[in-house]
Amino acid sequence: MGISISSFHSSLALVFSFSPLQTHLPKQYCLDDQRSCLLQLQHDLYYAPNFTFTSKFELWDPNTDCCSWEGVTCDDAIGHVIGLDLSYKNLSWTFHSVFDLHHLQRLNLAGNKFNTTLLSYGFDELPNLTHLNLSSSCFHGQNPMEISYLTRLVSLDLSYQDATLRLEKPSFKT
Q: What sign does the CA torsion over 55, 61, 62, 63 have?
A: positive
Q: Does the residue 37 lie in any domain?
A: yes
Q: Does the residue 5 lie in any domain?
A: no
23 — pLDDT class (breaks 50, 70, 90): very low
Residue 57 neighbours by CB distance under 10 Å: 19
pLDDT at 8: 43
Q: Is the pLDDT of residue 45 over 60?
A: yes
- Rounded to whole angstroms, the Cα distance separating 24 from 62 reads 28
User: Which residues, in sequence order, are bridge partners of residue 11?
Assistant: none
Q: Does the residue 20 lie in any domain?
A: no
User: Residue 126 is part of which domain span?
Assistant: 26-52+60-166
Which long-range contacts does 70-78 make (Cβ < 8 Å, 24+ apart)? 72/30, 72/38, 73/106, 74/28, 74/30, 74/34, 75/28, 75/103, 76/24, 76/25, 76/27, 76/28, 77/25, 77/28, 78/28, 78/31
Mean pLDDT check: name the lowest of 17-26, 73-82, 104-113: 17-26
**Has this prediction a pTM greater than 0.85?**
no
Q: Does the residue 118 lie in any domain?
A: yes
- Rounded to whole angstroms, the Cα distance separating 142 from 87 reads 22
First CA to last CA distance, the chain: 92
Q: Is the pLDDT of residue 165 over 90?
A: no
Q: How many domains does the chain have?
A: 1
Q: What is the CATH number of the domain that holds 31?
A: 3.80.10.10
Q: Does the residue 35 lie in any domain?
A: yes
Mean pLDDT check: name the lowest of 26-30, 90-94, 130-134: 26-30
Q: Is the pLDDT of residue 9 over 50?
A: no
pLDDT at 171: 56
Residue 137 neighbours by CB distance under 10 Å: 28
Q: Is the pLDDT of residue 63 over 70?
A: yes
Q: Does the residue 100 lie in any domain?
A: yes
10 — pLDDT class (breaks 50, 70, 90): very low
